[in-house]
Amino acid sequence: MKSTNTVGRIIGLLFLLIFVMGILVYQFLQGPILFSDDFLINATPNAPKLITSVLLGSLSGLFSIGIAAMLFPVFKKYSITLAVLYLAFSILDFVAISIDNTTVLAMLELSKEYMTTVEANANMLEAMAPIYFQKHWWTHYLSLLTSCFSVFVLYFTFYRTNLIPRVLSGFGMLAVLLMFIEILASILGEGISMNMLLPMGLIQLILPLWLLVKGLNTKWLETNFGIARLNE
């Protein structure tokens, strides 16, 4: 069976891929197109980008479930509850991403209809555009809010087990709380500052790099639960 260090490095690679895919999706492929006032015109000529963003979003969700599945045998040595919660919340993240993806595709279809419709129907489609925009806005922010739960459980379990340095896991928990506050405030119409998301971006880059270099430190688990059980 693969050692926990090898598993840690595989997880680090997957986290790095998720980080890169997130930047591609929201900064280049999807965000500039769908979060603009003229998405009705811009979505259709950028259909390949939007479809790619949907595929990458789904893939990142599957990677997250894979990470939770690989960490499950390690986390359960400390707490079966935390192991199950992390896996369950990761599955919930994938569901939220999938729902968000449906709104992306719906906006693309509305754009295609707008670009090919006769002028008489254009006004009706233009009137529908804000509804589609708001629907996507809600699913996007709810997806971000949902992701906070799995990520917090991840860093909390890392903190309690010393699988990574506590300075990293502690910073990760703080970053999640800041992100949760900002996203929730935005949903309630009282956004504070998008700069509150910067710590999350930073730790989500540092974590995979650390895991790729160091892997998981299982010394604490081995000491408290026994190396034989850890490698079951």
Is 11 part of any domain? yes
Q: What is the pLDDT of residue 92?
A: 98
Q: Which two three-digit tokens encode residue 152?
A: 């917090």
Nearest 5 degrees, angle CA 59-CA 63-CA 65? 120
Q: What is the pLDDT of residues 185-221, one digit of tens each?
A: 999 998 878 899 999 999 999 999 999 999 998 887 6
Q: What is the pLDDT of residue 36?
A: 85
Is 157 part of any domain? no
Report whether 175 contacts 142 (CB < 8 A): no
Question: For 9, phi and psi rounded to 5 degrees?
Answer: -70, -35
Question: Which amino acid, 198?
Answer: L
Q: What mean pLDDT is predicted for residues 77-101?
A: 97
Is 173 part of any domain? no
CA 171 to chain centre: 18
| Banded model confidence at residue 2, pLDDT cuts 50, 70, 90 | very low
Is 42 part of any domain? yes
What percent of the chain is modeled with pLDDT above 90?
81
By the 10 Å C-beta count (0-12 exposed, 13-18 middle, 19+ buried), 40 is classed as buried
By the 10 Å C-beta count (0-12 exposed, 13-18 middle, 19+ buried), 217 is classed as middle
Q: What is the pLDDT of residues 29-44, one digit of tens each?
A: 999 999 888 899 999 9
Is 114 part of any domain? yes
Q: What is the pLDDT of residue 120?
A: 66
Q: What is the pLDDT of residue 224?
A: 73
- The residue segments making up the domain with residue 41 are 4-147+207-230
Asked if pLDDT for residue 170 goes beyond 60, the answer is yes
Is 23 part of any domain? yes
Q: What mean pLDDT is predicted for residues 56-68?
A: 98
Q: How many domains does the chain have?
A: 1
Q: What is the pLDDT of residues 130-149, one digit of tens each?
A: 999 999 999 999 999 999 99
Length of the chain: 232
pTM of the predicted model over 0.85 = yes
Is 69 part of any domain? yes
Give the separation between CA 77 and CA 63, rounded to whole angstroms. Answer: 22
Q: What is the pLDDT of residue 192?
A: 78
Is 138 part of any domain? yes
